[in-house]
Chain A
Amino acid sequence: MKDQDIILKAENISKQYRLGLVGTGTLSHDLNRWWSKIRGKEDPYLKVGEVNDRSSKGSSQYVWALKDINFEVKRGEVLGIIGKNGAGKSTLLKILSKVTSPTTGEIKTKGRIASLLEVGTGFHGEMTGRENIYLNGAILGMTKKEINLKIDEIIEFSGCQRYIDTPVKRYSSGMTVRLAFAVAAFLEPEILVIDEVLAVGDAEFQKKAIGKMQDISRGQGRTVLFVSHNMSAIKTLCTRGIVLEHGNIVFEGGSHESVEYYSKLSSSNSYVEAIHESYGDIISELNFEISRGNIKPDASFFIGDDMFFRLGFKVSSKMKNILISFNVLNYNNELISHISNEDSNYILNIEEVNSSVEICIKTDKILYIPGRYKLNLWIGDSKSNTLYTVENIFNFIIEQGNYTKRVRPLPKHSKVYLHSNWE
């Protein structure tokens, strides 16, 4: 890696916050700080502080929202920053955009940083769209001359030509956002910091916005730091990613690997547990197993393996034609497959009250791309009324294996492996 390619470098960035109410004891803490400063000692409150875990109650009043963050960004790179709520993403962006200063550490840059933490900052409802373009542009660091050159493009991009001389308070919220994003899209800093702005606007505009961001990074070679919970946006836009957890960088790498790491992180912590929900108490005592070739329950498969599920439950009343289906979702929660007992004309009738059911289900070769998957179960009566659902009934991993003869990994953003014979 050539040294001069690095446009931004963060060194040991930490940020400490005080919990609870500011106000009680503020004065005494301030005096304490001041007193130790006079005596040339270190800030007594810098030594305390705990890892910032939102859910567990700590003893200290001080937490580290960020702790010793180090990273480098190269020119023209699009860096995605992902993490759960409270992992420190926004704090990092705030420090980068100079809204707040770090408690310790330094960020060095070789370019102007402009930040887009929220679109429409400083919009004034009483002013017209055109006036607001100037005002907002100036707040974001453009000069009047620059805006004059681009105003027609901005108005065109926003698609609000008709309303441009109407006060912004008469705009719909979507129009406000369009106008605001349009201003921001024509900023020309070397480094652009963006937080979740794509979560707004309709589908057409989102597409436009993502396209514009790709232009910015690829076409114009500018550097973008991008925070989002939208994993597919991260994957399409970013070239590299970092994953934050509790104020630390826990992963750094390609954007696909980062997204995958992040989803493992979130699935290993919270939603690996199956969530059972029964409607009407007709079905109970549900048990489920998955196995490879009838050996033992297993959570790891290779491409081309067959899967065996074993499903058992109790039904309390007589029923005709029970419907059972499974959804297979990938780590992005995208539906990959839907399988059902109707697929093989399997009809399940319950003739007696309180009878137990045991079903074996076998799938043919799974052709999913390596990654993490989960299974949701749905059971309903013949009229498709839900009787029982289980979310996350099973999590499993697909590995590449040797069904495909290729040695290199399959592209992560492909969805399904299609077996082919070459002659």
Chain B
Amino acid sequence: MNTKEDRWLYTISPKQSLIHLNFKEIWQYRDLLFLFVKRDVITLYKQTILGPLWYFIQPLFTSVIFTLIFNNLAAIPTGEGIPAFLFNLAGITSWNYFSACLTGTSNTFTANQSIFGKVYFPRVITPLSVVFSNLLKFGIQLLVFICFYIYFIFFTDKASSAMPQMAILYLPVLIAFMGLFGLGFGMTISSMTTKYRDLSFLVGFGVQLLMYGSAVMYPLSYFKEKVPEYAWLIEYNPMTTIIEIFRYMTLGIGEFSLYKFIYAGSISIIFFLIGLIIFNKTEKSFIDTV
């Protein structure tokens, strides 16, 4: 009897295990992942005049505004010998990647229901493609950051104490953490929005609020000094840790310890796994509830 059952290639059934990730299947669809990334990249700025320049404009202008408001007006110190503009650019570049992953994946099901309702492929390909296409965008923004870095070091004397640290070797790992964190968070939200649309409203301004809580435009140490009673809120936010580590790696300022690095990493991976479980549970029948 057993051998008879084994002959079936696969079965479609309502039962589902907690994590049903068919890596072999995802591997088979790797070309689709690549094509989705390609589609996102080449179609994003079609019929715009500035085209890919928008990749530069957005972080630059945000940094300029932040510098004006938070550093010139509100006089938040960014550390001796670190130009405020560079400080903000570092924060925004890393924050942007996380927030793009989060918002981009958080509407996976609702935005793709017409495709998902017609044809089957491993659904997880879609959020993954968002993470990868944003990686490209992040790469470009990182280049902008590096260009300004070089400019400030070699052509001005404002960046006297900015210095990349040895820990920068771990930068790819840190980027992976950002991506996984955004992905896990986004997948959870996208799964829940299939039934409860309230969350999609939350994401929009939630991300904005979270930015203020993630030490993007101020150093964690300054917040601790000024508002010590709420500092733990900011400190235990894994994004704060990630951004602080990013600034430490590149500029040599901020708090860094191996313990923090591991903390950010494990939180990201836990979020990713939770997101994956919920996503998998949803993908089988979301088309009935969306």
Contacts and interface: CB of A to CB of B under 8 A. Distances in A.
Given A121-B118, A122-B115, A127-B39, A139 B32 contact: yes
A11 B10 CA distance: 14
Contacts of A108: 8, 10-12
A182 to B, nearest CB: 16
B31 interface: yes
Contacts of A22: 195, 289
B13 A138 contact: no
A122 B40 CA distance: 12
Size bracket, chain B contacts:
35 or more
Interface in B1-19: 7-14, 16
B119 A102 contact: no
A102 B31 contact: no
Interface string A98-113: 1111111111111110
B119 to A, nearest CB: 5
Interface stretch (A89-97, A204-212, A268-276, A309-317): A89-97
A261 to B, nearest CB: 27
A258 B66 CA distance: 71
Interface in B141-184: none
Given A99-B117, A126-B43, A143 B9 contact: no
Given A117-B119, A121-B118, A127-B42, A100 B288 contact: yes
Contacts of B114: 121
Contacts of A135: 35-36, 39
B116 interface: yes
B11 A102 contact: no
A100 B285 contact: yes
Interface string B173-204: 00000000000000000000001100000000
Interface string A110-152: 1110010110011010110001001100111111100000000
A26 interface: yes
A138 B195 contact: no
B225 to A, nearest CB: 44
A288 interface: no
Contacts of A107: 11-13
Given A107-B11, A138-B35, A101 B284 contact: yes
Interface of B: 7-14, 16, 28-29, 31-32, 34-36, 38-39, 42-43, 46-47, 114-121, 195-196, 284-285, 287-289
25 contacts: A26-B196, A27-B196, A94-B287, A95-B12, A97-B119, A99-B116, A99-B117, A99-B118, A100-B285, A101-B284, A102-B12, A108-B10, A109-B8, A109-B9, A110-B7, A117-B119, A122-B115, A126-B47, A131-B38, A131-B42, A134-B35, A138-B31, A141-B121, A143-B28, A144-B31
